[in-house]
Amino acid sequence: MKFTIQSKVPNSLARAGIIETPHGIIETPAFIPVGTKATVKAVPTDLIKDKVGADAVLANTYHLYLQPGDKIIKKAGGLGKFMNWSGPTFTDSGGFQAFSLGTVKGRGKKIADRNDQLSMINDQESQGEIDSESMMAKIDDNGVTFKSVIDGSEHRFTPERSIEIQHNIGADLIFAFDECATPGADYDYQKKAVERTRLWAERCLIKHKSYKDQIALLGIVQGGRHEDLRRQSAKDIGEMKLPSGESFDGFGIGGSFDKDDIGTAVKWVNEVLPENKPRHLLGIGEPIDLILGVANGVDTFDCVAPTRLARTGAAYVYPSENFLDADGNKKGRINLLNSEFKEDFGPLDPSCSCDTCKNYSRAYLAHLFRAKEMLGATLVSVHNLYFLVNLVKKLRQAIIEGKFEEEKEKLLKDFAS
């Protein structure tokens, strides 16, 4: 993997660049659609490239390990061939899911995104609903033992096992195994998780260097909302190098974030990490988060929100006079199941150029969801993904043209209205 910075914003962490991989380039900053189980839900792979315009997809190590199994994917020729995707691919380490799905009480719950899942864990902690007997995951200094969300069978991930599984899956960019502490964890536990993440990162590097392939390994930074822990973790992971010379090819920023954290915790990390390597913000994808993330030095993002929301009839829209709430405020998201759209024959979002907006009305899309037709989820998923992918592309272009600050302020004002 090679990363080249094309343009930087003066007095800012924002930058535009290119990540070169064996399966193509990723123009950064970029939003990466999530294909959890080797599929971006409801969207065929040809639409991801041709209609959404995404450069890469990210799959989930935990879920692919459980089903169909990493050895089957390796036998198929790797993740890209298995899912008929010719572009660059990412896989996460599987650690977040092993920890969080094991901790959340009630494994059948639908969680919108990483922040929602961590918030649920936090709520359960504060209410005393989590105890060692009810947890499906057990964490120790060597790894995590967990039960499958499919059949309850017991499994174990260690740093070495995570790297082995990810190499079998064969993505272009993979992540080191880390501990993502829950939001309610106190300072002492966050500090312990940072140290555990550091030790596991070194073990991941050692295991990774035993493979003679072109896969790039990204280290993970943790530390919660504590500036000293975030900066220390970024320093540890950013400077980590084995005696033989191997270091991380890029970095992932993990943890739970709200709007304020993008300008604090993310900024602290990116002020410390090496400038010449790409940075990925894990599990973040709301429009304002993307804008703030780019402003604070993030190169790539991933999030399940656009497709998960789409399957419920929720669509991102550009805030305008076309979409007002009961108080007359501009909205950045609409629910197509609302009665107001039954006879609304206008395009989903007049300002959007995706195929869904060019060819289908809100009334038709509302009909699909009311009739429980699968096509509705596909059409709105294409729109939501296109919306986020191209929002970040707009920011990238503004950086290259020297107009980033102006574009950022305009977008923040629009989406905050």
**CA 283, CA 111: separation in Å to the nearest integer?**
12
Q: What is the 3-state secondary structure (H, E, C) of 186-203?
A: CHHHHHHHHHHHHHHHHH
Buried b (16+ CB within 10 A) or exposed e, 71-106: eebbeeebbbebbebebbbbbbbbbbbbbbbbbbee
Residue type, 134: S
Residue type, 337: L
| CA-closest candidate to residue 3, choices 15, 177, 12 | 15
In whole angstroms, how far apart are CA 147 and each of 50, 97, 185, 268, 302? 38, 11, 22, 35, 26
| CA-closest candidate to residue 223, choices 259, 174, 265 | 265
| Residue 302 annotated in active site | yes
**CA 388, CA 355: separation in Å to the nearest integer?**
15
- Choosing from 92, 113, 249, 344, which is the catalytic residue? 92
- Choosing from 236, 249, 261, 302, which is the catalytic residue? 302
Count of C-beta atoms within a 10 Å radius of residue 22: 13
Q: Are strands 15-21 and 2-8 parallel, antiparallel or unpaired?
A: antiparallel
* Residues linked to residue 147 through DSSP beta bridges, in sequence order: 154
* Residues linked to residue 145 through DSSP beta bridges, in sequence order: 138, 156
Q: Indicate the burial class of 361 (C-beta count within 10 angstroms; 0-12, 13-18, 19 or more).
A: middle
| Residue 116 annotated in active site | no
Q: Taking the chain, what is the end-to-end CA distance rounded to the nearest angstrom?
A: 40
- The kind and range of the H/E element at 52 are none
Task: Number of helices (H) and strands (E) in the chain: give both, helices first.
Answer: 17, 16
Largest Cα separation within the chain, whole Å, is 67
| CA-closest candidate to residue 103, choices 119, 121, 116 | 121
- Return the active site residues: 92, 302
